[in-house]
Structure 1
């Protein structure tokens, strides 16, 4: 499997395993089974004749209702990836996920771009097929069928041939799809999960180096896991000695946790 190496703001290299075409194809098939199941049950259990009678066979109103009913299928990939943090149900089952090429969570705009460009990845030549079919070019029927099939495969061919396994939508949205099963754990890096509204407490943490932060985090997690409170006390004292921080936290674990988050806040915003 190909790997993607990302250098963080702290100059730490993180390696991700890129999802291959087989994983993405299986996820695609699972998602399509879900969509077809929705369509099947919608047609089976919704009384379309009743809808027609209700609107007195007003074709515009009936068409509008049809569109509303099938909107969940049309936007399935888009809202799934936004709500499930880069995953559809198929991707979740295959343990793959969409991320930004820089390792960050994609923006809603990124998700919209990659969703919209499915038209090119999977349906571009389908439009050509429909056009030629409408002209009734029976003599070129085989060519039309070939164009249709190639159009359906464009996305998968790009995934196979591109360096980062990107379809056209991924390339334009600057996203990649990674395999989650053996990717680096977040706790193995000096990165900390902080929100956009996070307010730092100790500006003096910038006196620490990346290596200091890594050692602090490794020691902190090990000591916390082993309930080694003596080590936590020593670690707290060492941090205060190096940074000259005046702690406002009486709890050792809270203090060290805030120090790590503050360090990430200041180094990521530089």
Structure 2
């Protein structure tokens, strides 16, 4: 685990399970119930980005929302098939209540780590090593839920999340997972497309080989660097990004790191304008 100087302002960066990320945790000096550590991601281009682990409060609220959804579902079944249609209660209750115990397992398995409650709270289950969530991991989390959530009304899970320091309950530790915040605040500077003058000619025509994901990554790095109170902290981030883009495009920067990256974004848009 790499520990840096405290970062008071962190940005939330959406995680794509299609990318191979490697995760380490950074300690953030905030109350653990409402704020967890900041995570640093190293992308396939060896560029680090940071975002927060879901707090205990986020997870409790997501769980409460899921309970409400399950309660509404159960009530609807009773009213529809027992009270209104007056069907055999035992058979109908068995058939329609059967999915409830598997609620979290099925949703996390089928919707890439998100139950409806987690989706509303903009958090999701993610493998701690950055790989894609597997059915086995979902199953292990579901089995351990009986012990650290259901049997103790969530008390054991809360204790583990706070004490563990990595946003992991007992089930997460066993499954090798953690829960991350996936919401993000978009600004004009963060969008993929940048306005380009009609007669603008690309300074680096090689920018055409970049992918949308590459450009989004560059935008994230530029935003993180320029919007932070301590931009010097992110000079290495800029350098790593510049080197990765130089290698992919087979170019050599003729500007400062940030000017080079900004030009690459502009040239990419110029190459792909309609």
* TM-score tier after normalising by the smaller chain length: 0.5 to 0.7
- Residue 25 of structure 1 corresponds to 60
Gaps of 5+ in 2: 1-34, 191-212, 220-242, 252-259
CA distance, structure 2, for counterparts of residue 96 and residue 4 of structure 1: 14
Q: Number of aligned pairs?
A: 178
Q: Which residue of 2 aligns with 1:51?
A: 88
Distance 1:152 1:17 in 2: 22
Residue pair 1:122, 1:155 contacting (<8 A) in 2 also: yes
The alpha-carbon deviation at position 214 of structure 1 amounts to 6.6
Can you list the C-alpha shifts for 1:59-90, whole angstroms capped at 9, x where unaligned?
Answer: xxx46x53321122111112212222221111
Alignment of 1:1-270 (within 5 A): 1=35, 2-47=37-82, 50-51=87-88, 62=90, 65-123=92-150, 126=151, 150=152, 152-182=154-184, 187-188=216-217, 210-213=244-247, 221-225=265-269, 228-229=270-271
Deviation at 1:221, TM superposition (A): 4.1
Provide the secondary structure at the position in 2 that maps to 1:105. coil
* Structure holding more helix per residue: 1
- Compared CA separation, residues 71 and 220, structure 1 to 2 (3 A): farther
- Deviation, 1:33, is 0.1
The TM-score, its normalising length taken from structure 2, stands at 0.55
CA distance in 1, matches of 2:264, 2:105: 39
In structure 1, C-alpha distance between the alignment counterparts of 2:80 and 2:61, rounded to whole Å: 28
Pick closer, same or farther for the CA change 1:222–1:116 going to 2, 3 Å: farther
Contact 1:96–1:180 (Cα < 8 Å) also in 2: yes
Cα distance in 2 for residues equivalent to 1:171 and 1:29: 22
Q: State the 1:21 CA deviation.
A: 0.3
Could you tell me which runs of 5 or more consecutive residues in structure 1 were left unpaired when the two chains were aligned.
53-61, 127-149, 191-208, 230-251, 254-270
CA RMSD of aligned residues (A): 3.3
Partner of 2:239: none
Question: Partners of 1:9 and 1:212 in 2: how far apart?
Answer: 15
